[in-house]
């Protein structure tokens, strides 16, 4: 790295993201869909993952717990200890994985679903003892590695790199109704506004992550890539919504993409593909997610490279051009390319979890 760069190798943010990527590519590396038994992928896997998200949303629990549960479940299918041998094993392991993830990612005293309630969702197929025993077997099979760097974890880190064009606006006003608790009351108007904006982007990006995790096609895609592609699509969607209401874009695309290349080391997604393997995967993943939420088919994996090269420029709104709210070059970022924005933003992603009025039962496999 050039010593003149403003981002150094000892930058805390860079160290954290490097460590997370190292973990996702080693001890938490996910399997390819083709290596999984046919019976435990495809529609069955998708139904189970969607059920997890339905339950999480219904109970207002943490979104990232589902991502961890999906990792546990996929790892259980691939482990050599024969944890999952039948559809019943798969269903039991899914419930156990979710219960374990909630204990890791949510408050163990306030918000975790009671085990007895989880058993009731099993439609009488399992007992409390079944889940307790399966959990013991699962954590042993995982080698007690139960803190995978999920796409949601990467998303939170990436959003810290997202600057807003009016961050220095000292005349920021906040509607008193937006101050929901005492903690919010301690924040400055600028910080409170930033939190509100980030929450909106995170909500949309989380829906894209949900779409990716439920489909085998993204099973072996690094979670760091899924998070970045989801965030890009979410930012485009929010931008399109602002334009619809005749509002200017409030985040700084140029600076953000520069930080993602320099700090997060996720490649220059505006470059050509030569020497930018990570950037290529990010753009391809984003294109696939956008196609899914538009209701379009994905190419066969055998045609993946040809399709990606032919369709990437037409399907990635930010490829080649970026802009700030005024469509004017941002001189704070040397070398960043910006001009009038092109937008082919997708419609709002449809959640795979439909609204429910009663707690959902585990899908029967």
User: Could you tell me if 92 and 73 are in contact, meaning their C-beta atoms sit under 8 angstroms apart?
Assistant: no
> Within the chain, what is the greatest distance between any pair of CA atoms?
64
Q: Is residue 1 part of a domain?
A: no
Q: Torsion angle, CA of 331/335/341/347, rounded to 10 degrees?
A: -120
Closest CA to 76 of 104, 52, 100: 100
Each residue's pLDDT tens digit, 171-201: 555 555 554 555 555 667 778 888 889 999 9
Indicate if 191 and 76 belong to the same structural domain: no
Q: Is residue 188 part of a domain?
A: yes
Domain CATH code at residue 99 = 1.10.472.10
Indicate if 163 and 271 belong to the same structural domain: yes
Q: Is residue 326 part of a domain?
A: no
Q: Last residue of some domain: 315, 339, 356?
A: 315
Domain CATH code at residue 288 = 1.10.472
Q: What is the mean pLDDT of the chain?
A: 79
Q: Last residue of some domain: 123, 141, 159?
A: 141
Question: pLDDT > 90: what percent of the chain?
Answer: 47
Indicate if 126 and 214 belong to the same structural domain: no
Indicate if 175 and 122 belong to the same structural domain: no
Q: What is the mean pLDDT of residues 273-283?
A: 81
Indicate if 290 and 199 belong to the same structural domain: yes
Q: What is the mean pLDDT of residues 106-131?
A: 79
What is the CB neighbour count within 10 angstroms for residue 47? 17
Q: Is residue 323 part of a domain?
A: no
Indicate if 176 and 112 belong to the same structural domain: no
Closest CA to 239 of 231, 227, 225, 250: 250
Indicate if 160 and 307 belong to the same structural domain: yes
Query: Higher pLDDT residue, 170 or 70?
Result: 70
Each residue's pLDDT tens digit, 297-343: 888 765 555 444 444 444 445 544 454 443 433 333 233 323 223 33
Q: Is residue 350 part of a domain?
A: no
Query: Higher pLDDT residue, 249 or 92?
Result: 92
Q: Is residue 168 part of a domain?
A: yes
Indicate if 62 and 134 belong to the same structural domain: yes
pTM above 0.85, yes or no: no
Q: What is the pLDDT of residue 213?
A: 96
User: Could you tell me if 213 and 49 are in contact, meaning their C-beta atoms sit under 8 angstroms apart?
Assistant: yes
Indicate if 71 and 180 belong to the same structural domain: no
Indicate if 103 and 187 belong to the same structural domain: no
Q: What is the mean pLDDT of residues 210-215?
A: 96
C-alpha 173/C-alpha 193 separation (Å) is: 9
- In the structure encoding, which two tokens stand for residue 303, read together? 């045609």
Q: What is the pLDDT of residue 176?
A: 52
Indicate if 161 and 304 belong to the same structural domain: yes
**How many domains does the structure of the chain reveal?**
2
Query: Higher pLDDT residue, 115 or 5?
Result: 115
- Residue 123 — pLDDT band, cuts 50, 70, 90? confident
* Domain region containing 88: 29-141
Question: pLDDT > 70: what percent of the chain?
Answer: 72
Indicate if 202 and 279 belong to the same structural domain: yes
């Amino acid at each position: 790295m050039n010593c003149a760069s403003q981002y150094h190798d000892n930058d805390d943010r860079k160290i954290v993201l490097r460590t997370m990527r190292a973990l996702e590519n080693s001890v938490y590396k996910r399997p390819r869909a083709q290596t999984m038994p046919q019976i435990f992928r495809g529609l069955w896997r998708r139904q189970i993952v969607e059920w997890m998200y339905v339950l999480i949303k219904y109970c207002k629990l943490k979104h990232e717990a589902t991502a961890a549960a999906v990792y546990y479940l996929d790892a259980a299918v691939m482990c050599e200890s024969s944890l999952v041998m039948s559809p019943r094993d798969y269903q039991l392991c899914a419930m156990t994985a979710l219960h374990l993830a909630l204990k890791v990612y949510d408050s163990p005293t306030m918000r975790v679903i009671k085990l007895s309630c989880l058993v009731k969702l099993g439609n009488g197929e399992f007992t409390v003892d079944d889940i307790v025993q399966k959990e013991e077997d699962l954590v042993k099979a995982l080698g007690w590695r139960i803190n995978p760097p999920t796409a949601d974890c990467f998303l939170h880190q990436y959003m810290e790199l997202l600057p807003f064009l009016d961050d220095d606006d000292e005349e920021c006003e906040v509607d008193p109704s937006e101050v929901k608790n005492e903690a919010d009351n301690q924040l400055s108007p600028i910080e409170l506004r930033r939190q509100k904006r980030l929450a909106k982007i995170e909500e949309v990006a989380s829906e894209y992550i949900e779409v990716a995790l439920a489909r085998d096609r993204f099973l072996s895609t690094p979670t760091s890539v899924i998070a970045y592609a989801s965030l890009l699509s979410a930012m485009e969607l929010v931008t399109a919504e602002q334009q619809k209401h005749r509002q200017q874009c409030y985040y700084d695309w140029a600076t953000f993409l520069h930080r993602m290349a320099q700090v997060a080391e996720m490649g220059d997604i505006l470059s050509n593909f030569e020497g930018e393997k990570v950037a290529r995967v990010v753009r391809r993943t984003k294109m696939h997610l956008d196609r899914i939420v538009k209701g379009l088919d994905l190419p066969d994996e055998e045609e993946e490279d040809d399709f990606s090269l032919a369709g990437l420029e037409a399907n990635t709104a930010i490829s080649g051009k970026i802009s700030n709210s005024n469509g004017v070059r941002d001189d704070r970022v040397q070398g960043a390319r910006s001009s009038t924005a092109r937008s082919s933003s997708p419609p709002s992603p449809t959640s795979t979890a439909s609204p429910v009025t009663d707690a959902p039962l585990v899908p029967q496999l």
